[in-house]
Structure 1
Amino acid sequence: MSAKPEHYDVIRKPIITEKATMASENNAVVFEVSIDSSKPQIREAVEALFGVKVKAVNTAITKGKNKVFRGRPGKRKDVKKAYVTLEEGNTIDVTTGL
């Protein structure tokens, strides 16, 4: 399977935090995804880009904080995260680039 540009529109970047590292012990990988992407789209994109079998996809939307930018009030963007659980024996090394 070749990776279509739409797959790169769905998956923005991997998230490497302490919580994401703990999830990787349970064969899960965390990605930042586009806010309007659905779970089947995320599953299809991960399977196509990385050549792995996806067991489950869980998503969470983090609401953007109100902050002050250069003295003016503003709002950060909402971010959608996808916790992708892989089938046994499949791994994705997020420390290397795509």
Structure 2
Amino acid sequence: MMRAAHDVIIKPIISERSMEQSADRKYTFAVPLNANKIEVKNAVEEIFGVKVESVNTMRVLGKIKRMGMHSGKRPDWKKAIVTLTEDSKSIEFFEGMA
């Protein structure tokens, strides 16, 4: 069953590295752990109205964090780096950040 586009794209990742990559038409998003590349591609194309060339996904392991003697773990998450085609328009959301 296909999920809604806004359920697949959780949030954009805003970091120094992702801002540098946006110059090369690569945009980074947090996605659910069970989302696949096809779902991510369709969601980005639907939400932002752009053409996606490729999608690279990776699992990010949550860090171990301590509060005094208690130790806990942040949840694992998945990120997707989406590359747009040459003739596609850019994603305006990222343009304001750079």
Return the TM-score normalized by structure 2: 0.85
Secondary structure at 2:78's aligned position in 1? strand
2:46 aligns with one of 21, 45, 48: 48
What is the SS of the residue equivalent to 1:88?
Answer: coil
Aligned length: 93
Counterpart check, 1:91 vs 2:79: no
Question: In structure 1, what is the equivalent of residue 4 of structure 2?
Answer: 6
Percent identity reads 41
Inter-partner Cα distance in structure 2 for 1:93 and 1:69: 39
Task: Report SS of the residue matched to 2:92.
Answer: coil
* Contact 1:63–1:77, Cα closer than 8 Å, also in 2: yes
The CA deviation string for residues 52-94 of structure 1, in whole angstroms up to 9 with x for no partner, is: 1000000111101111246521110112111000011321022
2:72 is equivalent to residue 74 of structure 1: yes
Letter in 1 for 2:9: I
Give me the whole-angstrom Cα distance separating, in 2, the residues matched to 1:70 and 1:10: 36
Whole-angstrom CA distance in 2 between matches of 1:8 and 1:17: 21
The C-alpha deviation readout for 1:20-62, integer Å capped at 9, x for no partner, is 0111111111111111100000000001111110000001111
Which whole-Å CA distance do the structure 1 matches of 2:69 and 2:93 have between them?
37
Q: For 2:24, what is the secondary structure of its paired residue?
A: coil
SS at match of 1:23: helix
Unaligned stretches of 5+ in structure 2? none
Query: How big is the alpha-carbon RMSD for the aligned residues of Structure 1 and Structure 2?
Result: 1.9
Unaligned runs of 5+ in 1: none
Preserved contact between residue 14 and residue 94 of structure 1 (Cα < 8 Å): no
